[in-house]
Chains A and B, each alone.
Chain A
Amino acid sequence: MKLSLKGLVSFFVFLMLLIVYSPIIMMMIFSFNSGRRTTFPFESFSVRWYVELFHKKELMNALGSSFMLAIAVAFITLGIVVSMGLFLRGLTRGRKAVFYIIALGIIVPGISYGLGTGILYRMLNIRLSSWTALPVHVVWAVPWGLIILLTAFTPELATYEEAARTLGASELEVFRQVTMPLISSEMMAAALFGFLLSWGELIRSMFVAGGAATMPVFIYGFLYASPLTPMLYSLGTLNVAFSFILMIGVVTMLRRRGAS
């Protein structure tokens, strides 16, 4: 049998998939362990850690505020991304400079502006909560959304808009009836990125969110404060399930759009 390059690379990618999913599968298995162990041997099947999870009031609060925060971050990110995108599009000079200022949200290590904002809050005597993480989460999420949105501003889009203008549409009408429908999937992606980046954010939140205010900060603190039990695995399993459902939702939506 001749060894083809494609076969070799396919095997490599399969191996990567295996490596990426092996801890996830192990975590799912041990989240159902009846004992306290998180490695082999597996004792017996039980859902006790899931039950325990829902009885942890502090954690449930952190989950709730993380969710609210992520929703808010998604909306604000979307607003800034769209206005910034339109601004950059109309800009002739200084376009790159403005883009790089926004890109700093990715280029500067998150720990640096997390720390800086944390110190700023301290100077202003602002009490930390989950909401104090919002500004920093938006700074982190906007560049991703903006990059996605800018790729939607194609020459064809400009042609359609010009046509609408020629037919007498006002700027607002052009945006609402021509531009927005054509960039709506990018807008959706920007909001989704905002949600997900906020939902899983730890490094920056450590400096700007209160003690156990968001889910990732709670988990990190909990890991160091108490012995590891499968409880964190059951939380992780639910998290994995959640991101799968979200991703499947996105794929189906994209498909439906592609079909119509």
Chain B
Amino acid sequence: MDAFSRTGGWWASMNKRTLLGLPGLTWYILFLLAPLGITLVNSFLSSSAGGVLKPFFTLANYLTILRDPTNLSLLLFTLRLSLIVTAVSFMVGYILGYYLALMVKSVPVKMTLFFLFLTPFWIETTTKAISWFPVLGESGFLNVLLMKTGLIREPISIFLFSQFSATMVMVVTYFLMMAAPVFLTLSRMDPVLLDAAQSLGADRIRTFYHVTWKLSLPGVIIGVAFVFVLSVSDFATPSIMGGVIQTIGMQIAYQTFSLANFAAASAYSTLITAITLGVVALLFKIVDVTRLIF
């Protein structure tokens, strides 16, 4: 009797466990997997004026993108911009993560610094972009400062509305996504390991490479994935800050909002989804990041 009720209890709790996964999985199937499936299907349809889709299979949307050199260079430019943003964010973010985890000893200072960097991260995208105007503009703070100190005579116009400003604002917006996972992985590191490496005769550089760097790698991979995906997706920052530059994200927005050409927008979107998923899968192959969580 006792054994029976126990088995019954086990079954019941098993079923309850499965039920726990249902709301989340249903939500993700409905609002993530289904929409992605829709863009995939749409990308093979043709779209006429007013956004009406014709239900027959065509490769035209992809062929337009891949045949037209302007579209192809748009794709390459977007990837290059995202790679630059990711690379610079990596350098800046790693230094900050390392500093917070290993160089600042006092916990309150550590936390204050982290929150000081975290708080601006929550400012809304457009506001963050336009707040750079009084800093980078032709009569902005930076130009005024440089002219007052006599370093330049004429205001420098490429500070604003250029590839430079787009890259910089994206880095300042996203480098925290790089710093935070590095900070987290390095905080978990046992400092004894560093002493051990050094007492075994490794110099500073070798200790860093063989101990610190290798242990921080999962954090680095997560950070790189975050920043890359966020910068591929962000069409607002480059369109406000970038002047004449064009990215895939801006093209998707243009095709959707101005032309109502959902088929073309879907093709662009499917392309960048495939590329980012490929990049992230490759990154996660290097290091199993779930090790950090489970």
Contacts and interface: CB of A to CB of B under 8 A. Distances in A.
Interface of A: 6, 9-10, 12-13, 16-17, 19-24, 26-27, 29-30, 38-41, 79-80, 83-84, 86-88, 90-91, 95-96, 98-99, 101-102, 104-113, 115-120, 122-123, 135-136, 138-139, 142, 147, 150-151, 171, 196, 199-200, 202-203, 206-207, 215-216, 219-220, 223, 228, 232-233, 235-236, 239-240, 243-244, 246-247, 250-251, 254
B135 A23 contact: yes
| A-B pairs with lowest CB-CB distance, top 5 | A116-B35, A87-B21, A109-B233, A27-B131, A23-B131
Interface stretch (B57-65, B194-202, B234-242): B234-242
B130 to A, nearest CB: 6
Interface stretch (B68-76, B209-217, B266-274): B266-274
30 contacts: A9-B95, A23-B132, A24-B123, A27-B130, A38-B133, A39-B137, A39-B140, A80-B27, A83-B21, A83-B24, A87-B17, A95-B294, A98-B21, A109-B276, A115-B256, A135-B31, A139-B28, A142-B28, A150-B293, A200-B125, A202-B124, A203-B234, A216-B124, A220-B125, A220-B236, A223-B130, A228-B130, A228-B133, A236-B124, A236-B131
B290 A115 contact: no
A199 B124 contact: yes
Contacts of A220: 125-126, 236
B31 A22 contact: no
A107 B172 contact: no
B66 interface: no
Given A135-B30, A138-B27, A239-B124, A107 B13 contact: no
Given A19-B172, A115-B269, A80 B20 contact: no
A17 B240 contact: no
Given A117-B35, A220-B126, 7 more contacts: A16-B96, A87-B17, A115-B269, A116-B39, A119-B39, A219-B127, A247-B119
A11 B202 CA distance: 27
B15 to A, nearest CB: 11
Contacts of A200: 122-125
B249 A115 contact: no
A254 B13 CA distance: 34
Contacts of A122: 51, 262
A229 to B, nearest CB: 11
B143 to A, nearest CB: 9
B156 interface: no
A24 B119 CA distance: 11
A107 B137 contact: no
Contacts of B79: none
B127 A112 contact: no
B149 to A, nearest CB: 15
Given A39-B134, A112-B36, A232 B233 contact: no
Given A16-B92, A113-B35, A23 B134 contact: yes
A209 to B, nearest CB: 13
A112 B272 contact: yes
Given A38-B134, A243-B122, A120 B172 contact: no
Interface string B206-231: 00000000000000000001100110
Nearest to B169: A23
A151 B292 CA distance: 8
Contact of B31 (A12, A119, A138, A147): A138
Contacts of A9: 95, 98-99, 103
B164 interface: no
Contacts of B252: 111, 115
B254 to A, nearest CB: 12
